[in-house]
Amino acid sequence: MKPAAMTEPLSVSAVLLDLDGTLLDTVPDLHAAASAMLRDLGRPALPLDSIRSYVGRGIANLVKRVLAGSLDVTDDPSAPPQAALDSFRRHYAFENGRNARTYPGVIEGLEAFKAMGLPLGVITNKAAAFTLPLLELSGLAGYFDVVVSGDLLPKPKPDPMGLVWACGRMAVSPADTLMIGDSIHDFRAGRAAGCHVFLVPYGYNEGLDVRNLDCDAIVPTVENAARRIQHNKMTGQHNPLHTARA
């Protein structure tokens, strides 16, 4: 079901955003690390577009998908071979942020949210060892009050745990919070947490079209998302002491 058109600005008290595929195009870095890992294993590299379709469930799942050359291994509970995982992590530590770029409208959107006085958070399945350096290198770190990396809590997206935890840190209700993402995992996490959900159509939704999901709105840019909301100051109780980095 496609989202209905919004006629009035959405009133919210905080905004949560996904990282890879929403704020930053990180596929060039991930592709470089995956290619180096495959070289270490004596295997041929994969096309960049293949890596693009494999992003979204954390590094362990990305490595499994790269090794299998398929999306169909995500539900396999086994971990990827340790040698492959170690190789990828080593190469990604070097590549992380080298070629990542913010999408058009991201900085403008973040500036608009801040001008409204909205607390902001990042919710990503990327491990903290890569999330925080990436935010610093990209110049985005200063915008966020809360950063929830994929290894901070027991359950990453699509589980809502990270979103609910971030709302608690910002002292806002999930019902008054907007989640902006690029994938079905963001959509499911947002809906399960009780948040409003906007989706961007340009990200990494495992090759699928997010425009078929029943979110609150499909927005072409983060800047456009900012134009569609207003700060609900009656319910927003942001306390700047309620911040966390993971």
Active site residues: 18
- Residue 181: beta bridge partners? 199
Q: Is the peptide bond before 201 cis (omega within 30 degrees of 0)?
A: no
C-alpha atoms less than 13 angstroms from C-alpha of 130 in its C-beta half-sphere: 26
Residue 12, H or E segment: strand 10-12
Q: Is 150 helix (H, G, I), strand (E, B) or coil?
A: coil
Task: List Cβ neighbours of 227 (8 Å cut-off, separation of 6 or more).
Answer: 112
CA distance 191 to 112: 24
Contacts of 128 (CB under 8 A, 6+ apart): 147, 149, 150, 151, 152, 246
Distances (CA, A) of 44 to 60, 88, 100: 19, 15, 23
> Distance between CA atoms of 14 and 122, rounded to whole angstroms?
11
Q: Which residues have CB under 8 Å from 141's CB, separation 6+?
A: 132, 135
Burial letters 10-40, b for 16+ CB under 10 A, else e: ebbbbbbbbbbbbbbbbbbbbbbbbbbbbee
